[in-house]
A and B are shown apart, each in its own frame.
Chain A
């Protein structure tokens, strides 16, 4: 893969991820990760303080499937959708088997009554494995430490 092809492949992966979440295809979410892939929603403040706490943390697809199962069948929250906007995507080839990516995101949350707000902004810091094109690690660093009401759907 040339650098240009790699850039496009990573951008396509981020776009597919965003479309799946925004279209409520939450069951597809674990499939974007490797079997042992990690997903962590952190805050810029905790990262700067060197504190390990995540707002949401999953180690491997099993934990991700547990979260989706819980969202579908156990947790109660008002129906809502996200709209992800992902931009400024940097791609860095680490080896033949691994790519790192850094991208900005903005997530707008739309409630069932139409109430719309900027719900989160921040950066995705990703480790992606080749040739599978799956996230081995996705760290979502939110710019703000504040979360409005609840964070149900993954970012």
Chain B
């Protein structure tokens, strides 16, 4: 195990062992993912009717989410009480009941064990004794809460309700996007060569966007000189940043000589990929929102998506993207969203680089677990503000992580 000493500077430093320690990764599973947190599971639109299901993850733990015959949402661990095999192997579908293929133990939509094959034996022979208690090893059942069509689950008995968990700073920004029934446009997975926290940290980092993502800056989509701001929940766990639509004519980037400004005039031949309809009526062009531990909701122009962070080991993370629109979108709006999908995902003009940058950190720090990131833009505070030239939301992540992990 690595030496787990937090640098004396406190909130403005993050030591690199947090991205490397295998024991810590396992501890995170119980203290964070299976602890007092609400975790994104899926969209309600993926469970269209009674008896439908999808499979998902909470950290390492495989989970089945169902809508039962009465329409109620349930989520339970995808693990058979008998020998621990996956109960549900399909990614989605409808089912009358769920039977483990191994020995045909059967579960209802709530994850209750309803039948043990040949429990009472055959012809008075075999079977389980009367006092056997296979139910004692039943799959864990999660508490489920849906917020405007987005389904979250928790194993915690003590976490506050979902809206309280999100808090008044970020909740209105979540509801702003989730204003109508959703329609799924498609999904894919981006595999990131880095620790899951590097991705969350990147998403909360309002300082990097216009410096790493040249597409933003060169085509003047997102510059720190444009109007915008950042909201951070009181405990630091969740955040939301936004940028206003007004085009920036400034030359701050050029004067600062940053790489992203470049020295050539770039014009898109086909700017349709950027043409936004102000569908939320507030002239916000980009809003990135995160909920601890692993949920991201984005609005980039008219591209909308839920991103689920699924850790797959200390240096590997899967990002499950689900792009959506609204159920009442017309053909033109759907076409616009599909074109603007070019901005995001593994081939996204913007998003492709996040995997590269965070992977570079994972590789760069290999020999220096004892050294630390310098996260001092905007000082040492954690809070909301009208400048995005700050790392306040990143500090919020680490404040929260340390609280959960007792580090």
Digitize B254-282: 1 where CB-to-A-CB distance is under 8 Å, 0 elsewhere. 00000000101010111011000000000
Nearest A residue to B218 by beta-carbon distance?
A74
The residues of A that contact B192 with a CB separation of less than 8 Å are: 149
Nearest A residue to B341 by beta-carbon distance?
A53
Within 8 A of B (CB), among A96-155: 145-152
| B contact set with A: CB distance below 8 Å | 91, 184-193, 212, 214-215, 218-219, 262, 264, 266, 268-270, 272-273, 318, 323, 334, 338-339, 341-342, 345-347, 349, 352-353, 355-357, 359
**Contacts A70-B349, A73-B266, A75-B352: A57 and B339 contacting too (C-beta < 8 A)?**
yes
Nearest B residue to A78 by beta-carbon distance?
B356
How far, in whole Å, are A76 and B217 apart by their CA atoms in the complex? 13
How many Å from the CB of A26 to the closest CB on chain B?
14
Closest 4 CB pairs of A and B: A53-B186, A147-B346, A150-B352, A74-B214
Interface centre among A63, A65, A70, A148 (most CB of B within 10 A): A70
**Are B270 and A62 in contact (CB-based, < 8 A)?**
yes
**Contacts A63-B270, A70-B215: A51 and B186 contacting too (C-beta < 8 A)?**
yes
A56 within 8 A of B: yes
Identify the stretch in A2-10, A11-19, A41-49, A86-94 within 8 Å (CB) of chain B at 4 or more residues: A41-49
Q: How large is the interface on A (under 10, 10 to 19, 20 to 34, 35 or more residues)?
A: 35 or more
**Are B188 and A46 in contact (CB-based, < 8 A)?**
yes
How many Å from the CB of B268 to the closest CB on chain A?
5
The residues of A that contact B266 with a CB separation of less than 8 Å are: 69, 73-74
Give the A-B pair count, Cβ closer than 8 A: 120
**Are A52 and B334 in contact (CB-based, < 8 A)?**
yes
**Contacts A56-B347, A57-B338: A73 and B262 contacting too (C-beta < 8 A)?**
yes
**Are B269 and A52 in contact (CB-based, < 8 A)?**
no
**Are B347 and A151 in contact (CB-based, < 8 A)?**
yes
**Are A77 and B189 in contact (CB-based, < 8 A)?**
no
Nearest A residue to B359 by beta-carbon distance?
A149
How far, in whole Å, are A41 and B346 apart by their CA atoms in the complex? 11
How far, in whole Å, are A55 and B338 apart by their CA atoms in the complex? 9
How many Å from the CB of B167 to the closest CB on chain A?
32
**Are B187 and A66 in contact (CB-based, < 8 A)?**
no
How many Å from the CB of A117 to the closest CB on chain B?
11
Nearest A residue to B188 by beta-carbon distance?
A145
CB < 8 Å: which of B91, B188, B353, B356 contacts A147?
B188
**Are B190 and A149 in contact (CB-based, < 8 A)?**
yes
The residues of A that contact B184 with a CB separation of less than 8 Å are: 51
**Extra 11 A-B pairs, beta carbons < 8 Å, given A43-B188, A147-B188:** A41-B347, A45-B91, A57-B338, A63-B269, A63-B270, A65-B269, A73-B218, A76-B214, A146-B190, A149-B190, A149-B359
How far, in whole Å, are A65 and B338 apart by their CA atoms in the complex? 18
A-B contact pairs, 14 of them (CB 8 A): A45-B91, A53-B323, A53-B338, A54-B186, A55-B347, A57-B342, A59-B270, A60-B270, A62-B270, A66-B273, A73-B214, A73-B266, A74-B266, A76-B357
